[in-house]
Amino acid sequence: MFFASGFADVIPAILVLVIVAIVGCVVLLSLRRNVKNPPLPPIPFTLGDLKKLLDDGSITNEEYEKAKQAIIDLVKKSTTDSLEKDF
């Protein structure tokens, strides 16, 4: 009798601890996922934006080619990094 009475008093505390443990695990798993796969850096210009700058005469053909290659390299790097993380 005494044991059953004491156990009934402890049940709410046990439930709270279980809920806190589950929420903590979910938070830790989401943080781990974000650390493993950080968001990709934004690409400041698109190729279309660069083409407009070239057509407007704001940049030279040489600057256009350098910036275009930089964007292409960044996209290639981000896609190959993503593929490597999946395996």
The full 3-state SS of 9-53, as one line of letters, equals: HHHHHHHHHHHHHHHHHHHHHHHHHHHHCCCCCCCCCCHHHHHHH
Residue 61 has a pLDDT of 94
Phi and psi dihedrals of 27, rounded to 5? -65, -45
Does one domain contain both 32 and 53?
no
**Residue-number span of the structural domain to which 62 is assigned:** 42-87
Confidence of residue 31 (pLDDT cuts 50, 70, 90): confident
20 pLDDT exceeds 90? yes
Does one domain contain both 23 and 62?
no
Does one domain contain both 31 and 59?
no
Confidence of residue 83 (pLDDT cuts 50, 70, 90): low
Distance (Å, whole) CA 28 – CA 66: 42
Does one domain contain both 32 and 50?
no
Does one domain contain both 49 and 72?
yes
Does one domain contain both 63 and 30?
no
Confidence of residue 4 (pLDDT cuts 50, 70, 90): low
Residue 16 has a pLDDT of 94
Q: Please return the burial class of 64, using the count of CB atoms within 10 Å of its CB with bins 0-12, 13-18 and 19+.
A: middle
1 pLDDT exceeds 50? no
Does one domain contain both 47 and 82?
yes
pLDDT, average across residues 10-20: 93
